[in-house]
Structure 1
Amino acid sequence: MKISYTWLRQYIDLHESPDELARLLTASGLEVESVEKQEGLPGGLQGIVIGQVLTRQQHPNADRLSLTTVDLGGGQVVPIVCGAANVAAGQKVVVATVGAMLYPTGGEPFQIKKAKIRGEASEGMICAEDEIGLGTSHAGIMVLDTDLPNGTPAAEYFNLQDDWVFEIGLTPNRADAASHLGVARDLKALLNRPLKWPDVSGFRVHDQSRRMAVEVQNPEACPRYTGVTLSGLQVQESPDWLKERLQSIGLEPINNIVDVTNFVLHELGQPLHAFDADKIRGSKIVVRTLPAGTPFRTLDEKERKLQEQDLMICDAEGGMCIGGVFGGMESGITESTTSIFLESAHFSPDWIRRTAQHHALKTDASFRFERGTDPNITAYALKRAALLLQEVAGGQVSSDIIDLYPQPIEDFTVAVNWGKLYELAGHPIPQDEVRRILHNLDIQLQDESLEGFTAVVPPYRVDVQRPADIVEEVIRIYGLDNIPMPAGLSSSYMAEFPKTDENILRREASALLAAQGFMEIMTNSLTNPDYARKSDFLDEGKNVEILNKLSEELGVMRQTLLFTGLEVIAHNINHRQRDLKIFEVGKTYYKEMNTYREHKYVGMWITGLAEGEHYLQQPRPVAYHDLRLAIELLLSRFGISDVYPQVIHEREFAYGLEIVYNGRKIGRSQENGALVRLGKVKPAIAALAGVKQEVFWAEIDWVQLLALAGSQQVQFEPVSRFPEVRRDLSLVLDKTVPFAQIQEVTRKAESVLIKRIGVFDVYEGDKIEAGKKAYALSFILQDKQKTLTDNVIDKTMQRLMAAFERELGAYIRK
């Protein structure tokens, strides 16, 4: 629900800033999800001033241009070339100064710059109405009748005011706050200030020329029905003040009749509906249901089949409107309408909710009726709307207000015990403060005694019917922050714990990998010394030898997890288990300058088929990217995001990558300092452990992982209300350029709007130059503050393409 700050100030005096009001409303239960500033015009006419034309003469090089000198105030006189035929010396005009950004009606924004026009200097622009977004006229420059001094900001002359719009996440129980006056009622209690209701004392009935008969056949569904007829109206465009009110909360003006009903809806929270009185057959309104299956054509031009419990507003012959939900095509307001019957009713929430859900119709009216409206405001809303209609459309009231209210809805009465109120509140709130709060919420106190009182609650507060509800009303206005924390509150559960518990993280890592289909293994830390002797990536001199070895095959401590994992793979392959995804958290050992050291890693291995054989799809062997995806999920789980992949040429890998944190390596002399190393194991290395099929292996530095998981906090932010935009790009690059380098160039060129980069195709072949490859890239762009325009998107992509050409030597494929 949107609430305008400027509109709100009509009903209560406000000196607080929009941000302060947002804080107050949120604390009282009306959660303000955002506060958005709305300028009176785009740009707020910044850099646009009132000036005076001092001289005007014909341009020497153009028949349709004039040379003028314009006084901008403060002794500043500038030359301006003007193309308007009506420019003349002595005029007061609107001038856009150099540097001003203009937002023309229906055009793209542009900035005023110093220029030479047909050889003559021009330092500004004398503006027409459409050039500054004030209207659509381009007949000539605006000539002002004003005594304001030269240099006065144009925004001051046009009385432009900024507005702020609150987006309130209205909970279903707060139907009473579904309007500007509803929000103002809460502010009345919060700020202890009087409420200013619109004056309807000027309402008068002029004649009885268009009396309408009304019959309510279903008072259960429609407990109260009021209406009045107006005639002599002229349907036309609404005045600016009315359009601005509706546009401030995101509504599109339609015409003056419909706009008034929408205005009153958002002002008072009471939905209204206007029928063309000349289309009401038999001059009779009947509130009833129609047989199930009856076709009815609604305002959206769709034909709907009614159900038996759809409440309908009918005339003497058939349906005109689905009561409280949606109007019909046949009785709507058109340009030829001169008389209307204006309806203001109170409908049962159960009936409206059932109908709206059945027909999948969610309107501003049904939103309020489903939650419960004020049955006592229907006649007041009619008077308010009638006065506004006479103001914007002319005409007169042509009937008395019809008011059918056979069984008035009573106020709720709630017995409240003072002791229970203090107990639920957790604090003895002063009784005078309780009385003040409830009085400002229109809740009266009766039968007061030492023990308690009876609260009389108006029916528009549909959620206040129990003692606990009364306490909630008091607390939300009194303020939770004003209720002190008891001194004896136990706080043992708040004791500090270490930031990083290795056992907890170990379980979480294992659970995540298991969820990805990995099986955990535990292998012996003793291994065969031949691995270091026969491989070229291990240093045999760093082996930690066992003095009382059980066998030569288990004679040293392992320097790497690689071979023990390969041994597990070989064992499983020998037992016909060729498709494996396994991991281990274990230690490695090495000797360095007569000192023995150990380090902990996570080892991960995948081999065989990615998924089991199935008749619906061809079997696919595991790939490097399957392993990398699992690692990225693990790092993401621990909030580690500032990582950089780069190609490595380690001797145990046929090809691979290392991932470092924050662009730098961390580690001691034995470790290479990378957070992760992964790639395809060289076939010759795998063969040392008896494995002949393709294996992908990763080694994650567990010590680094623990340190980074403890130092980085996972942060959450609201999902942006503005859409993402995708743009695709095809680059031809040298084969040696990795994707990580493309990512780095993209970050440097645009770090704010580019949210994600993806590769959806890579091509190497005879259709491009030898030694080259083509990347097909997708770029996801998003601005968290506003919707991206094509102009901004195109400029961003042009900047990226220029960066790729400059830094990577890329060729952009069109």
Structure 2
Amino acid sequence: MRISLNWLRELVDLTMTPTQLADTLTMAGFEVEDIEDRRTWADGVVVGKIVEIQPHPNADKLRVCTVDVGAASPLNIVCGASNARADIYVPVATVGTYLPAVELKIKPAKLRGVPSAGMICSLAELGLAKESAGIHIFELENPQLGSDARSLLGLDDVILDLTSTANRADALSMVGVAREVAALTGATLRLPEVGSVSIPEGSAGLNVRISERQACPAYIGTVIEKVKIAPSPAWLQQRLQAAGVRPINNVVDVTNYILLEWGQPLHAFDRDRLQQIAGGDTLTIGVRFANGGESLKTLDGQTRTLQPQNLLITANDKPVALAGVMGGEETEVYQGTENLVLEAALFDPVAIRRSARSQNLRTEASGRYERGVNQAELAVACQRAIALLTQFASGTPVAQEVADTRPDPSAWMRSIELRLDRINQVLGPVELGDATGEIQPEDVQRILTALGCEVSLVTGEGRQGSPNSQSPIPNSQSPVWMVKVPPYRYRDLEREIDLIEEIARLYGYDNFCDTLPDKTEPGYLSSDQMLTRKLREALRGAGLTEVMHYSYSVAKTEDDREVAIANPMFAEYSSLRTELVSALINAFQYNLEQGNGSLNAFEIGRVFWREEDGLIEADSVAGIIGGDPTQGTWTRGGALQPMTWFEAKGVLESLFARLGMPVEYQPDRRDPRLHPGRTASLWLQGDRLGTFGQLHPQMRQQRGLPDAVYVFEMDLDVVLDYLDRDENLIPVFKPFSTFPGANRDLALFASTKISVAEIKRAIASAGGALLESVELFDEYRGQNVPEGQRSLALRLVYRASDRTLTDEDVEPVHQKIREALVEKFSVSLRS
């Protein structure tokens, strides 16, 4: 909100400079984003009078003005404004004046051969308007010529651009800011004089009927007749302009003025237009929610299709305004308006927020209603507006109808118990000169009283002192107060901790001690964090790129393990994800569609699911691999080569080798998204680690993916539990053997139901210490291989660390392996 210091000085005794006030407000939680010193806009501009005006001898559109500025001799100024004439008072920028609005310094000049010593200014040249049709004319009688024109233009002011937090609705008004400044500085507060206007009894054909009492707890409708639409007084226009509001006419300007002064939005309807829309002899103002198919043309000229959440003001049940947001164009005040219906109402913040958001419309009024308007001063603001309309528009109030369903006013004064012990426990020590100490009871009472609270001291026996009591407090016990919150802070101050925050604000954050704890130690990563970083490095080392997705997914009706979100942002984010693979597949497809090629990526994130015991969450790591693994296709004439199962498995094997994880593979068919014959479950020393497999051909075709795409997903907790074991945390160096190894090949026919992993385990068990490694290097199915079997060829490497092995050392072990395979799997040995 833009705060005029001239206006503020009328409400509170202010002796601070603008910079000091800005610093004080900022430290108290009201950020001052800008200080606009208008005094610099027209420094050197004086009041002048055009004494004589003559045509320019060399230009049809220019005229030569003789201007009296109170000097010994009048100025000769060439002017091109069409509204320039003799005997008017105008602002004159004298030689040497700098006008920052147009970045112009006034110098003596010749215009088409005629000397000109100054410039007669328009409002645009003075920075008070974006455009001006001509020079500005003062509507004054016998002003002092040559006097400073800034006070007449409202340019003797400084504007603070103030930003308040969402909980401080009271700070969106001049009265609210004045109360805050008075509390911060201890200055005297002077509220505006409301004025008293008598309103005759009787309805004058006006009724008020509220259908939605929760959305509109109070509504005051006032009929004002015989108004005369005219420009507002200059001082009122200047205050509106300083606040960034464009003056329109005296009626609309008064409603905007009350909005800025008290923070209470008002709206003025043209009564005759209301009656015309309503029809009939009587007029009933109503408040209800919109029905389907209704529309309303608002003041911004847009015809809006109304939604069920739009709260409406109606005339005989016909929509005439968006309640608390914007009025209707058909009932707006215009130049011919003679009679008014002035609306002053309270609306529910939630109802206004929903209504404004559904229309994508936010106004000064809706912004205040959304934060919560001070309900205790509704009648005060209404009375103030009526008095101003009577004064400036010559209106006569003839009737007033009130619909008020609010609770008793005593309910607006919330009482909160406040303990000094709790204050000092939360806020800690403060600086008291050269020493440190605690906030004193008298400081607490002074601050809360300055905020408008009623403070009563509660003694140990439960007796209460007088409001705002300053009586001595016994040292034998810590004082406790009962604090009554003023109505304008009702929505903000709800608990004891809110009062403690206010004490800290007004006491001054810079008065609190900022000592560090006696013992500190540097931060460090936990074991899980370090191991997760190690896992990330290994995944990147395997050639995968890390990606991150939202923790949301599309709801699947067939998945009863899914956790639905009560208020999703979008339909695509209506539930929490139960796995990571789906998002990776979508990312892979998106990259292909964008021409970025295949995405080899991984993600580490949290997954969520529902079980009988309740909601469960865990961390998971998943990845996707696909596309041509080679760089460049020129050797194959541009043809892409799909990644094979063994190449994809090799990526995982390199990951497991980096981490030292002995992972085993077992056939698996549980995931319908994966190829039933090319999917394996991953096992780590008896614990299920996860799944690895190729995408199902049907899914690949539907998504337009390459011939072979592979995914994996692993339980991160299983990985971390293994890596966190003592024997795995610290690697043990094993010296390389200086003696050569002995290679033996083993060929056999084995059933297709027997996995290579099972055969390798049997070989390792029988081979003992001499067997160094076992690798499969060939598999064949087809001609000359018995049906239901396959031909496997494995290379076994034997090595000893203390000698070169001979055939006598190797053959017995090799024979033992052969016999074990025949006995356990009934294989047919070929070599």
Partner-residue secondary structure (3-state), 1:460: helix
Partner of 1:426: 428
Q: Does 1:453 align with 2:453?
A: no
- Contact 1:233 1:338 (C-alpha < 8 Å) held by counterparts: yes
Distance 1:31 1:205, change over 3 A: same
| Cα contact 2:298–2:327 (8 A) shared by 1 | yes
CA drift of 1:269 comes to: 0.9
Whether the 8 Å contact between 2:154 and 2:238 is mirrored in structure 1 is no
Contact 1:35 1:164 in 2 (8 A): no
Which runs of structure 2 are paired with 1:256-267 in the superposition (5 Å)? Answer: 256-267=250-261
Instruction: Kindly state the Cα deviation for residue 236 of structure 1 after the two structures are TM-superposed.
Output: 2.9
Post-superposition shift, 1:399? 1.3
Tell whether 2:318 aligns with 1:324.
no
Say whether the 8 Å CA contact 1:379–1:403 is kept in structure 2. no
Structure 2 Cα separation of the partners of residues 307 and 66 of structure 1: 60
Secondary structure in structure 2 of the residue aligned to 1:335: coil
Look up the equivalent residue of 1:456 and give its one-letter code. K
* Secondary structure at 2:375 match in 1: coil
Gap runs ≥5 in structure 2: 430-437, 461-478, 524-532, 546-597, 599-628, 640-831
Q: Contact (CA 8 Å) 1:234, 1:394: kept in 2 or not?
A: yes
1:25 positional shift: 0.9
Note the alpha carbon deviations across 1:229-249, whole angstroms, 9 max, x for none: 211112233332222212212
Q: Distance in 2 between matches of 1:147 and 1:494?
A: 72
Q: Is the 8 A contact 1:70 1:80 kept in 2?
A: no
Q: Residue 165 of structure 1 aligns with which residue?
A: 159
Shift in Å at residue 203 of structure 1? 2.4
Deviation readout 1:775-801 (Å, 9 max, x if unpaired): xxxxxxxxxxxxxxxxxxxxxxxxxxx
Question: Residue 344 of structure 2 aligns to a residue in which SS?
Answer: strand
Is 1:39 aligned to 2:45, yes or no?
A: no
Paired residue for 2:445, among 435, 438, 442?
Answer: 435
Task: Give distance in 2, aligned partners of 1:115 and 1:35.
Answer: 36
Shift of 1:472: 0.7
Structure 2 counterparts to residues 25-64 of structure 1, below 5 A: 25-32=25-32, 34-39=33-38, 44-49=41-46
Q: Which of 399, 411, 416 lines up with 1:414 in the alignment?
A: 416
Would the aligned equivalents of 1:235 and 1:393 in 2 still touch at CA under 8 Å? yes
Q: Which residues in structure 2 correspond to 1:703-782 (within 5 Å)?
A: none
Question: Take 1:307 and 1:454, find their aligned partners in 2: how far apart are those partners?
Answer: 46
Select 2:509's aligned residue among 441, 462, 480: 480
Identify the match of residue 226 of structure 2 among 213, 223, 232.
232
Partners of 1:404 and 1:199 lie apart in 2 by 24
Distance 1:383 1:401, change over 3 A: farther
Deviation track 1:173-215 (CA, whole Å, cap 9, x = no partner) reads 1112111111111111111122211112332326757352112
Query: 2:107, 2:118 within 8 Å by CA — same for their partners in 1?
Result: no
**Secondary structure in 1 aligned to 2:329?**
coil
Partners of 2:65 and 2:97 lie apart in 1 by 21
Q: 1:26: Cα distance to partner?
A: 1.2
State the Cα distance separating 1:260 from its structure 2 match. Answer: 1.4
When structure 1 is superposed on structure 2, of 197-206 and 337-346 the one drifting more is 197-206
* Residue correspondence of structure 1 range 391-410 to structure 2 within 5 A: 391-400=391-400, 402-408=402-408, 410=411
Q: Is the 8 A contact 1:233 1:395 kept in 2?
A: yes
- The 2-side partners of 1:437 and 1:187 are apart by 12
Instruction: Report if aligned partners of 1:129, 1:141 keep a CA contact under 8 Å in 2.
Output: no
Query: Could you report, residue by residue, the CA deviation over 1:302-332 in whole angstroms, capped at 9, with x for unpaired residues?
Result: 3434343433222213222222222223322
Report deviation, 1:392. 2.3
1:163, distance to aligned residue in structure 2 (A): 2.5
Distance in 2, matches of 1:360 and 1:187, equals 35
Q: Rg larger in 1 or in 2?
A: 2
Distance 2:88 2:320 in 1: 56
Separation (CA, whole Å) in 1 of partners of 2:202 and 2:326: 29
| TM-score calculated relative to the size of structure 2 | 0.52
Q: Quickly say closer, same or farther: Cα 1:454–1:316, change in 2 above 3 A.
A: same
Amino acid corresponding to residue 165 of structure 1 in structure 2: I
Partner of 1:100: 97
In the TM superposition, what is the alpha-carbon distance from 1:138 to its structure 2 partner? Answer: 6.0
Q: What secondary structure does 2:369 align onto?
A: helix
Give the secondary structure class of the aligned counterpart of 1:414.
strand
Is residue 381 of structure 2 the alignment partner of residue 381 of structure 1? yes
Matched, 1:15 2:25: no
3-state SS in 2 of match to 1:377: helix
Query: CA separation in 1, counterparts of 2:139 and 2:301?
Result: 43
CA deviation map 1:528-586 (0-9, x unaligned) = xxxxxxxxxxxxxxxxxxxxxxxxxxxxxxxxxxxxxxxxxxxxxxxxxxx9xxxxxxx
CA contact (8 A) 1:200 1:383 kept: yes
Structure 1 unpaired stretches of 5+: 496-506, 520-578, 580-608, 620-814
SS of match in other structure, 1:10: helix
Report 1:258-337 matches (<5 A): 258-278=252-272, 279-280=274-275, 281=278, 282-337=282-337
Report the 3-state secondary structure (helix = DSSP H, G, I; strand = E; otherwise coil) of the residue aligned with 1:330: helix
Of 354-363 and 367-376, the range deviating more from structure 2: 354-363
1:196 aligns with 2:195: no
Instruction: Give, as a single letter, the amino acid of the residue that structure 2 aligns with 1:191.
Output: T
Distance 2:37 2:42 in 1: 13
Contact 1:413 1:454 in 2 (8 A): yes
Is residue 149 of structure 2 the alignment partner of residue 155 of structure 1?
yes
Tell me the distance in 2 between the aligned counterparts of 1:175 and 1:415: 23
Instruction: Tell me the distance in 2 between the aligned counterparts of 1:86 and 1:172.
Output: 47
Partners of 2:361 and 2:228 in 1: how far apart?
Answer: 30
**1:124 pairs with 117, 129, 154, which one?**
117
Deviates more, 1:285-294 or 1:137-146: 137-146
Residue pairs, 1:510-525, within 5 angstroms: none
1:273-310 superposed Cα distances (whole Å, 9 cap, x missing partner): 11222214331112223434433333333343434343
Closer, same or farther in 2 for the Cα pair 1:326/1:408, shift >3 Å? farther
1:238–1:89 distance in 2 versus 1, CA, 3 Å = closer
Distance 1:518 1:244, change over 3 A: farther
Alignment-mate amino acid for residue 181 of structure 1? V
CA shift, 1:109, in A, is 6.2
SS in 2 for 1:7: helix
- TM-superposed CA distance for 1:446, in Å, is 3.5
Q: Which of 448, 464, 469 is residue 498 of structure 2 equivalent to? A: 469
Q: Which moved more, 1:206-215 or 1:460-469?
A: 206-215
Q: Residue 767 of structure 2 aligns with which residue?
A: none
Equivalent residues, number? 509
Cα displacement (A) at 1:2: 2.4
Note the 1:642-657 alignment, pairs <5 A.
none
1:610-654 CA distance string (max 9 Å, x none): 99899xxx99xxxxxxxxxxxxxxxxxxxxxxxxxxxxxxxxxxx
Moved more, 342-351 or 309-318: 309-318
Contact 1:35 1:166 in 2 (8 A): yes
Query: What's the CA shift string for 1:456-480, capped at 9, x where partnerless?
Result: 2234321211110111111111112
Contact 1:273 1:343 in 2 (8 A): yes
Alpha carbons of structure 1 residues 182 and 94: separation in structure 2 relative to 1, 3 Å: closer
Structure 1 stretch displaced more, 13-22 or 139-148: 139-148
Give the match's secondary structure for 1:399: strand
Conserved 8 A contact 2:153-2:238: no
How far did residue 94 of structure 1 move? 6.8
Amino acid in structure 2 at the alignment position of 1:432: E
Q: 1:297 to 1:125 in 2, by over 3 A?
A: closer
RMSD between aligned residues: 4.9
The 1-side partners of 2:83 and 2:323 are apart by: 55
Equivalent pair of 1:211/1:229 in contact (CA under 8 Å)? no
Report if the CA contact (8 A) 2:47-2:149 is conserved: no
